[in-house]
């Protein structure tokens, strides 16, 4: 089966929608006898419907998070499945993002003179 590899370090994508949420709820008697399950598929169907992902467009869901929770009452519980995602669309021929390198404090900028370091000096210029 062919696999697709996408590099998000390049500037070939844009975020179309953020924080698209789908949710499914169920019902359990006494907290452990499932009468109506909270289905992941129902939550994902809601995410795709709200995200307006269209067939044939270079779109994908990113940062997908699934959360399962339940509210417990005396005689029953309400399980809940929540799915949250961002919609990313790929743009052909996008420009690459250049991330400049900022030298850290311990790094010194390159210099042209090749003389060895003179050692530690105090602010007045005296050798320590």
Of 79, 58, 84, whose CA–CA distance to 68 is shortest?
Answer: 79
Binned at pLDDT 50, 70 and 90, residue 8 comes out as low
Question: At residue 70, does pLDDT exceed 60?
Answer: yes
- The residue that leads in pLDDT, 36 or 116, is 36
Binned at pLDDT 50, 70 and 90, residue 36 comes out as very high
Contact 27, 36 (CB under 8 A): yes
Of 43, 45, 31, whose CA–CA distance to 67 is shortest?
Answer: 43
From 38-47, 68-77, 101-110, the region with the lowest mean pLDDT: 101-110
Mean pLDDT of 75-95: 88
- The residue that leads in pLDDT, 105 or 85, is 85
Question: Mean pLDDT score of the chain, rounded to an integer?
Answer: 80
Chain centre to alpha carbon of residue 29: 36
Binned at pLDDT 50, 70 and 90, residue 1 comes out as low
| Residue 13: half-sphere exposure toward Cβ, Cα within 13 Å | 19
Binned at pLDDT 50, 70 and 90, residue 81 comes out as very high
Question: At residue 98, does pLDDT exceed 50?
Answer: no
Of 27, 69, 67, 23, whose CA–CA distance to 46 is shortest?
Answer: 23
Quote the pLDDT of residue 13.
Answer: 84
Distance between CA atoms of residues 18 and 25, nearest Å: 23
Bridge partner list, 82: 23, 67
Helix, strand, or coil (residue 67): strand
């Amino acid at each position: 089966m062919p696999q697709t590899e996408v590099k998000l370090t390049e500037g070939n994508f844009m975020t179309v929608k953020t924080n698209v949420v789908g949710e499914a709820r169920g019902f359990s008697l006494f907290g452990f006898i499932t009468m109506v399950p909270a289905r992941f598929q129902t939550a994902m169907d809601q995410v795709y419907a709200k995200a307006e992902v269209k067939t044939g467009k270079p779109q994908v869901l990113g940062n997908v998070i699934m959360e399962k929770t339940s509210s417990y009452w005396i005689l029953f519980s309400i399980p809940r499945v929540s799915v949250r995602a961002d919609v990313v669309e790929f743009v052909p021929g996008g420009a690459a993002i250049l991330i400049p390198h900022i030298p850290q404090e311990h790094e010194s900028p390159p210099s042209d003179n090749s003389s060895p370091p003179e050692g530690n000096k105090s602010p007045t210029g005296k050798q320590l």
